[in-house]
Amino acid sequence: TETDLSSKTVSANVMGADGDFLIVLSGVTFAGNANTKRYRLYFGSTVIFDTGAVIFNNVNMLVVGYVYRRTSSVLSGVIGGLVSGGVLSSVSRPDAGGQSFTGTNTLKSTGENGTASAGDITQFGFIALKGSV
């Protein structure tokens, strides 16, 4: 099952103008077992980062990236995850049209295990910084 790990409310004025962006940083630890694990980031209902179902055994991962309002309805950006040892696990390049920036959106992270065991994924940090160009 997919479980919410953290959730940030993004008010309409935060992404209120073309060129507004969020820099996203998060840290995740995976249990030392052979279960497949999946870490995702969402902006509203759009998946902006997804590791896929991978056997992350006893590793840490740092997720770094940005997501920005390119136009009045297009969300775009680049987000990547580095696992301990410096291996690039995944890179997402969201370019999703049809976004609504007129109301509140949610920036959230989720974890999903390949089995029913709990505690396979622990998030130890989740930061979003706002900027504009």
Q: How far is CA 56 from CA 14, 109, 110, in A?
A: 34, 17, 15
Ramachandran area for residue 60 (φ above 0: left; ψ -120 to 50: alpha; else beta): beta
Q: How would you classify the pairing of strands 46-50 and 37-43?
A: antiparallel
| % of the chain beyond a pLDDT of 70 | 94
pLDDT digits 0-9 by tens, 84-107 = 866 667 788 888 999 999 999 999
Q: How far apart are CA 81 and CA 99, in angstroms?
A: 24
pLDDT tens figures, 38-80: 999 999 999 999 988 888 888 899 999 999 999 999 999 999 9
Structure tokens at 21: 């962006």
